[in-house]
C-alpha cells in the first residue's frame, strides 16, 4: 500500500509474489498520486487509486471476484495510465469480474464492460478458474553472489519441485536452502552445487511463533505455496 496525505511519486512495484492478500496502490483517502509502475507481479487482487500516470502491465492477478479495481476520489483518471498485457483469473465472479469506484459509487463490471469503460486491457486475458501450472519465481540477490529468493506456486500439489540454480551458484560452491518462514531453522537442502537441478520439498514448515503471540495459529501455505532463500555456505 502506498499513498497518504502527500502525493506518492516514482513508485515501482515490480516482480513480486503476493499470496493471501490484495495489493493496493493508493490509499482510500489522501491526495492524488503522481506515477507508478506495476509490472511482472503475481497477486491475489489489485486496486489502483488516483494516479495521474502509470504502467500496469504483464501482471498475473487471481481473485474470487473483482480481480482488478480502479478507484478515484471523484472521477477516474484514465488518460495517463498504460494498462495492458495482464493475465487475470477469476475463480467465482458473482460480484463482478472487475470494478470501478468513483467517490461513493461502486460498479461491478464484466471484463468486456471493464474494457469499454476504461479502454484498458485490450490485449489482456481473463480466465475463469485458477492458474493450473507450476510457477517458479527465482530472484538473485543483487548484493551477495550465491544468494537468491525462490517463490513457488504449486497448484498441482507436487511433493517436490525442481529448481535450476545455474547462474546463481558456481559448480563446487557450498550452499544451503532455508524456508523464508523459518530463516534461522534447519536447511531444507544443503550440499555442494554440482550443476544439476535441486529438488526442493514442498512439505509444511512450522515458523517460529511471533514474540508475545504464542497462541497465534499461523497459516500453513505448503504445498500450495512456498518461499525459499538460497544462501552461500
Residues 134-170: tens digit of each pLDDT: 999 999 999 999 999 999 999 999 999 999 999 999 9
Count of beta carbons in the 10 Å neighbourhood of residue 195: 11
Q: Which three cell numbers stand for residue 203?
A: 512439505
Residues 6+ apart with CB under 8 A from 215: none
Cis peptide before 165 (omega within 30 of 0): no
Question: How much is the pLDDT for 218?
Answer: 82
Q: Is 115 exposed, middle or buried (0-12, 13-18, 19+ CB in 10 A)?
A: middle
Q: Which three cell numbers stand for residue 77?
A: 483518471
Phi and psi at 96, nearest 5°, equal 110, 155
> Over 80: is that where the pLDDT of 2 sits?
no
Which residue, among 76, 225, 87, has the nearest Cα to 157 in the 3D structure?
A: 225
pLDDT mean across residues, the chain: 94
Query: Distance between CA atoms of 79 and 150, rounded to whole angstroms?
Result: 36
Lowest mean pLDDT among 26-35, 165-174, 208-217: 208-217
Question: How much is the pLDDT for 216?
Answer: 83
Question: How much is the pLDDT for 208?
Answer: 86
Phi and psi at 228, nearest 5°, equal -130, 160
Question: How much is the pLDDT for 1?
Answer: 67
pLDDT top residue among 95 and 80: 80
Do residues 100 and 93 lie in contact, with contact meaning Cβ atoms separated by under 8 Å?
no
> Over 80: is that where the pLDDT of 195 sits?
yes
Do residues 87 and 125 lie in contact, with contact meaning Cβ atoms separated by under 8 Å?
yes
Place of cell 534447519: 186
Average pLDDT estimate for 17-27: 93
> Over 90: is that where the pLDDT of 119 sits?
yes
Give every strand in the sheet of 125-128, ordered side by side: 42-43, 60-63, 87-90, 125-128
Confidence of residue 214 (pLDDT cuts 50, 70, 90): confident
Question: How much is the pLDDT for 22?
Answer: 94
Confidence of residue 29 (pLDDT cuts 50, 70, 90): confident
Q: The pTM is what?
A: 0.90
Amino acid at each position: 500500500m502506498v499513498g497518504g496525505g502527500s502525493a506518492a511519486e516514482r513508485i515501482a512495484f515490480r516482480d513480486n509474489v503476493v499470496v493471501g492478500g490484495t495489493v493496493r496502490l493508493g490509499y482510500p483517502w489522501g491526495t492524488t498520486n503522481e506515477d507508478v509502475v506495476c509490472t511482472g507481479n503475481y497477486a491475489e487482487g489489485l486496486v489502483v487509486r488516483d494516479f495521474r500516470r502509470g504502467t500496469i502491465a504483464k501482471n498475473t492477478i487471481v481473485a474470487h471476484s473483482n480481480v482488478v479495481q480502479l478507484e478515484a476520489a471523484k472521477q477516474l483518471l484514465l488518460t495517463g495510465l498504460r494498462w495492458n498485457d495482464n493475465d487475470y483469473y477469476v475463480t467465482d465472479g458473482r460480484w463482478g469480474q472487475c470494478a470501478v469506484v468513483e467517490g461513493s459509487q461502486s460498479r461491478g463490471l464484466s471484463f468486456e464492460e471493464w474494457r469499454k469503460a476504461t479502454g484498458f486491457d485490450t490485449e489482456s486475458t481473463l480466465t475463469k478458474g485458477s492458474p493450473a501450472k507450476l510457477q517458479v519465481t527465482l530472484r538473485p540477490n543483487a548484493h551477495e553472489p550465491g544468494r537468491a529468493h525462490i517463490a513457488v506456486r504449486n497448484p498441482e500439489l507436487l511433493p517436490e519441485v525442481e529448481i535450476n540454480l545455474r547462474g546463481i551458484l558456481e559448480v563446487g560452491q557450498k550452499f544451503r536452502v532455508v524456508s523464508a518462514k523459518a530463516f534461522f531453522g534447519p536447511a531444507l537442502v544443503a550440499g555442494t552445487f554440482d550443476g544439476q537441478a535441486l529438488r526442493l520439498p514442498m512439505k509444511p514448515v512450522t515458523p517460529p511463533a511471533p514474540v508475545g503471540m504464542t497462541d497465534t495459529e499461523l497459516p500453513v501455505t505448503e504445498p500450495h505455496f512456498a518461499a525459499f532463500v538460497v544462501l552461500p555456505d
